[in-house]
Amino acid sequence: MKKLAFALLLTTSIVAPGLALARPATIAIQMAPYQGPGAYLAIYVVGPDGKYQSTLWVAGEKPKYQRHLRGWSRAYSTSGGSIDAITGASVGSGRTLRIDVDLADALIDAGYEIRVDSAVEDGSDYSGDAVAPLRSGGSGTTVRGTGYVATFAVKM
């Protein structure tokens, strides 16, 4: 029940801007080599005005470490909602995280972008470690990260 309610919420938030069709997309994040335990990641959609829209995925389950995903946690803690169904394990050095999402058509080519925040225990916090604009022409283009993320690509 909880999952269903959440699925509705997620769909609503992504689909709402245009009430149009959604298209499947694959997000691939290749982690850089680093020393330390698995990295926490937040992957979320930001509007043309830089405002938080919705969360696509959170890697790492403990709230006390999720706090270090600063850009995302500030927006998420304000806007509320639940991430239970879109939270998974943290991602280790050199690993690849691949997730499938549905993106509303209205988000594409409308100035929206997908951001990745990253943090590692006893390491650094990177807000906006990697940012990829949602452009139909740029599908599959690889973006370089500035911190723990080596490369980031959104394929539609």
Partner 1 sequence: MLRRVHSIAGLAAACLIGFLAVTGALLSFEPAIDAWPATAIPSTGITVAYTAGAVAARFPDVERLVRSASGNLVAYHGSNGKQGADYVDPQTGVGLGPYERSAFFGFVTELHRSLFLKTGGRAIAGLGALALLILSISGLVMTAARLGGWLRLLVAARGTVGQRLHVDAGRAIVPALLLTTVTGLYMTLATFGIVPEGGGDLAAFPAGVDGGTPAPVARLAALRAVDLSSLRELVFPVEGDATDVFTITTDKGQGYIDQATGAMLSFQPNSTAQTVYETIYRLHTGQGLWWLGLLLGAAATAVPVMAVSGIVIWWKRWRAFPRLRRNVAAQGADTVILVGSEANATWGFAACLHEAMTQAGHRVHTATLNRFASSYPKAQRLFILTATYGDGTAPASANRFLDRLAKTDISRWPEFAVLGFGDRQFPHFCRFATDVQAALEARGAQSLQPLAMIDRQSSQAFAEWGDATGSHIGVPLTLRHAPQRPATFTLTLASRIDYGAAVGAPTAVLRFVAAPSTGRESHSPFARFKRSLPSCEAGDLIGIVPPGDASPRYYSLASGARDGFIEICVRKQAGGLCSGFLHDLQPGASIQAFVKANPQFRPARGRAPVIMIGAGTGIAPFLGFIRNNTGQRAMHLYWGGRDPKSDFLYADLLSWFQRDRRVTRRVTAFSRVSGGSYVQDSLREDANTVRALLARGAQILVCGGSDMAKAVQSTIDEITAPIGASVATLKAKGRYVEDSY
* Rounded Cα–Cα distance for residues 4 and 28 (Å): 26
Name which of 44 and 76 has its Cβ closer to partner 1. Answer: 76
Closest separation in Å from C-beta 126 to partner 1:
7
What is the DSSP-derived secondary structure letter of residue 65? H
Question: CB of 39 within 8 A of CB of 90?
Answer: yes
In the three-class reduction of DSSP (H, G, I as helix; E, B as strand; rest coil), residue 73 is classed as helix
Name which of 75 and 134 has its Cβ closer to partner 1. Answer: 75
Closest separation in Å from C-beta 87 to partner 1:
12
Contacts of 68 (CB under 8 A, 6+ apart): 40, 119, 125
Q: Which residues contact partner 1 by CB under 8 A? A: 35-37, 62-64, 66-67, 70, 73-78, 89, 122-127, 146-147
Name which of 65 and 112 has its Cβ closer to partner 1. Answer: 65
Name which of 12 and 77 has its Cβ closer to partner 1. Answer: 77
Closest separation in Å from C-beta 24 to partner 1:
29
Amino acid in position 24? P
Closest separation in Å from C-beta 48 to partner 1:
18
* Rounded Cα–Cα distance for residues 47 and 29 (Å): 21
